[in-house]
A and B are shown apart, each in its own frame.
Chain A
């Protein structure tokens, strides 16, 4: 099923018609294409978490429409109309391990499919498969989730979301607090899951290197407004614009600019990952570039 997400003129107001009224999303119109790996970036208070909570109707817009596949979410949409949608959109919130509660790992992962009407046996089969998908050893499945390390607990929580077999996987800073090895493994895992299960991924992150390495689509929010959307190379093409909006370049891009300044050489397109930077340096060295020096 195609599950593109389309925001049409979406406004969201916290505590409307009170002195505490605060506009969290302002006239947002944007599309998250089916099968894309979309990065959502912006500072604290930019509206990222409010945006996320609209993806499965945890929040309904104050005005405007969010179309997710066939389901439209409007200010009038009732909770009970959203049950079907919520099976398709799995959201991994920050520090998801804080939400583990079952006696064993396998029960925790099987909770969602059981809740969505699968038999005990079916739910457990799905849970075993998902545990394998996220790299949890079989021997861990009968343990209490609270005996596991932080990184393992997070994998259990993510397997629990995957067990809903969603088509859209939403990740809110999924690697916060993990060590570099754990971060790398987790990001590679999402990449693999996306490819194997044909997921649409929406990732909230501060790590511009991850945006450059994994995403093919970027949405930038600032104070509740959409200020840019496009491919990573489009978003990172204008360093001055980034500085104005207090956004960083990926490290490779920063390095490339310093290299250009110092040497007078010019890259044909600004490299955003170390792989493409090294390739471009090699091709310049072998005479493939234009020398402005």
Chain B
């Protein structure tokens, strides 16, 4: 079943002359983890804002979880979607962590008794319950993004959209956030749409869509996309380490395999190469 269906979408920003999207089509399956990549300005963020009804298309049709997106249905659609943005500092409204998670539930008029339960469950889920009474400013970037995720989990959405949500985090913070997303995707079958330049994040996806100039230029499994090596940087993805190493090995006169290798695969391949010596 498709949880998001975009048909013949046309959109441009008011101040611009060229179309950002022209007759654009995309289907996203329920429970899928889709990574959207592309260089800055390729239309990634515009696309997810259209799906969330933050921007309105000129023409075309967007359906989310069976609801056709219209000015009347936009709030129903948004209740299905949770969005995490790039900068963890721009997403706080509460004076402490617990209040912050409760904010969305209060807005959704959830009764207080249930609210308290949901806030606690959500914070436990992201391993931040022990910080419930902390001020957001005292948290690290990764902890802030986990609190932002808790705010979303508490609202029980069907789709989580990550708009470069891990790009400002240190490696530990990034891993902690991705771990939670993996659980939500695998255990609770939430649909994940992640906009990213990060290879580790994209490699979690089942499917990668490459956008350029508002068009889908590739739509494939991660391993196929990653095998493009150094040219990935042109489509907005940091090339995987194994591909960068391959290029340097070629410069050293060493013959390398064409297909994409993970880090482990690359070590195995080198081991075999050395064994043949």
Contacts and interface: CB of A to CB of B under 8 A. Distances in A.
B130 interface: no
B91 interface: no
A262 B273 CA distance: 13
Contact of A278 (B140, B141, B171, B245): B245
B86 interface: yes
Contacts of B40: 149-151, 178-179, 182
Interface of A: 43-45, 149-151, 176-184, 206, 246, 248, 251-252, 255, 258-259, 262-263, 265, 274-275, 277-279, 281-282, 284-285
A95 to B, nearest CB: 8
B244 interface: yes
Contact of A181 (B168, B234, B244, B264): B234
Contacts of A279: 248, 252
Contacts of A246: 172
A179 B234 CA distance: 10
Contacts of A277: 245, 248
Dominant secondary structure of chain A at its interface with chain B: helix
Nearest to B254: A282
A149 B41 contact: yes
Interface in B31-65: 39-41
A44 B249 contact: no
A235 to B, nearest CB: 16
Interface stretch (B18-26, B71-79, B108-116, B235-243): B235-243
Which has the most chain A C-beta neighbours within 10 Å: B41, B247, B266, B270? B270
Nearest to B250: A278
Interface in B131-189: 139-141, 164, 167-172
Nearest first, the 6 closest Cβ-Cβ pairs linking A and B are A278-B248, A282-B252, A44-B140, A180-B238, A206-B170, A251-B241
B233 interface: yes
Nearest to B174: A206
B170 A44 contact: yes
Nearest to A181: B233
A206 B169 CA distance: 8
